[in-house]
Structure 1
Amino acid sequence: MNAARTLATATRVLRQLRHDPRSIALMLLVPALMLVLLRYVFDGSARTFDTVGASLLGIFPLVTMFLVTSIATLRERTSGTLERLLAMPLGKADLIGGYALAFGALAVVQSVIATTLALWTLGLDVTGSPWLLLLVALLDALLGTALGLFVSAFASSEFQAVQFMPAVIFPQLLLCGLFAPRESMHPALEAISDVLPMSYAVDGMNEVLRHSEITAEFALDAAVVAGCALLVIALGAVTLRRRTP
């Protein structure tokens, strides 16, 4: 991987996104608006909002970054942009790294906005440090970015990219422990949930919700989410095709 080429790719992607205000609004504002809606859904039960809101603070950025990244990357590929870039002295790792860096920068902004809103405007009450909450939200957004880059290689249209959401995101949403404790699930489902990264994202948020200090469980959860994001980005570079079918 060449650092200069990776940075140049990231700069180009950010310049293009600057002219796409709808995508920027989807990435930066939708998670915050969903948290506002959730806060007033549980208007009569602040404790429920604390419990559910902490988990969804990580899930909302993951879902939105997955959706935007997969569609934006696919649009570049179907328009022939990626083929022209790969015909130049630009490696697959440089290209994927540049996209990950660009969308990762937006993920940072998104996570800061959502976390700030949840803690200091909506009154989300957590025992742990707000910085730890922000860290998990950021890792979740980066994981969504990585998954979006990865699945875009297997779609031939934007409609197909959207169809990957039920296949990739929804099972994780059901099995991550948001709706029921994972240990209360059928043993087969519990075993599946143990290998899904969103489960560790939710567990990490719950650790911040309940503990004032960094626990071993939190460190493990954060490491698993970060490791999964890096692994999926690497797989995205491997599966990137030089020609669009």
Structure 2
Amino acid sequence: MTLTRTFATAGRVLTQIRHDPRTIGLLLVVPSLLIGLVAWMFTDTDVFADIGPAMLALFPFVVMFLVTSIATLRERRSGTLERLFSLPLGKGDFILGYAFAFGLLAVFQTAIAVSFAVWVCGLEISGSIWLLFAVTVADALLGTALGLLASAFARTEFQVVQFMPLLVFPQILLGGIFLPTDQLPEGLEAISGWLPLTYAIEALTAVADDSEDAAWIASKLLVVVAWIVGSIVLGSITLRRRTP
């Protein structure tokens, strides 16, 4: 694995996406539109102030998971991946290249979503806006990493969607969006503690409320980063050259 090959892969992916305006719109615009829809639904109430940080965690995470997993799977199904591996390109180069490419897109996505939520939708942030941005970027990268992991196991786009009930929906239900995690039944609270989106939501909520110090937020962020690294490593190990 070399940085030259990794960055070459990232450049190729970004070039492909640049010529696909629908994917660009899905990545950069749709999360902000969904956040705006939620804010509009709860106009003249305090609900958006409570759930707004969780929405910053939810929508970029889900969008990055879907786009990354399907885009990576298409490389394998089309035979592109097999041709690339006939060159001096390793699995790690491929996975990291995709992670870098979509990670860069996640930064732009997050900048747009955070700016829209704060300055258009009126989400009040008591803590550092830069810390909020950093945690949201990590959350979007988590969606990217789990998408890469799912694509390594899936054979079709439909199977990628089938991974959502396994990898995405439990995190949405148990992450603290609908009910604080400390109010969940004991068994579900234990499960919630193993899910990375829970830590992202808790960190974003703490930043928005300025209710915890930087060290506490950093501890939550480290869990998310550990999941990102673990998913990328496992995805590179299990990636198949071709879908049978």
**Superposed pair shares fold, TM > 0.5:** yes
In 2, distance between residues paired with 1:76 and 1:91? 15
Give me the whole-angstrom Cα distance separating, in 1, the residues matched to 2:85 and 2:136: 33
1:157 and 1:206 mapped to 2: Cα distance?
A: 36
The Cα of 1:214 is off from its aligned counterpart by 3.8
Gaps of 5+ in 1: none
Corresponding residue of 1:30: 30
Where 1:123 maps in the other structure, the secondary structure is coil
Preserved CA contact (<8 Å) 2:153 2:239: no
Return the alpha-carbon distance in structure 2 between the equivalents of residues 210 and 157 of structure 1.
42
> Aligned Cα RMSD in Å?
1.1
Structure-1 residue corresponding to 2:189: 190
Please give the secondary structure, in 2, of the residue aligned with 1:142: helix
| Partner AA of 1:217 in structure 2 | W
* Aligned equivalents of 1:181, 1:66: Cα separation in 2: 24
CA shift for structure 1 position 242:
2.1
TM-score by length of 2: 0.97
1:28-67 → structure 2 map (5 Å cutoff): 28-45=28-45, 47-67=46-66
- Could you tell me how far apart the structure 1 residues matched to 2:242 and 2:43 are? 52
Give TM-score, length-normalised by structure 1.
0.97
CA distance in structure 2 between the aligned counterparts of 1:122 and 1:188, rounded to whole angstroms:
36
Identity %: 55
Q: Which residue of 1 aligns with 2:15?
A: 15
The answer on 1:117 being equivalent to 2:116 is yes
Partner of 1:167: 166
Letter in 1 for 2:117: A
Return 5+ residue gaps in structure 2 as ranges: none
Whole-Å separation in 2 of the counterparts to 1:52 and 1:213? 17
Give, in whole Å, the separation in 1 of the partners of 2:157 and 2:19. Answer: 19
Does the Cα contact within 8 Å between 2:77 and 2:242 map onto a contact in 1?
no
The residue identity in structure 1 corresponding to 2:154 is A
Number of residue equivalences:
244
Question: Residue 206 of structure 1 aligns with which residue?
Answer: 205
Q: CA deviation at 1:216?
A: 2.6
Match of 1:134 in 2: 133
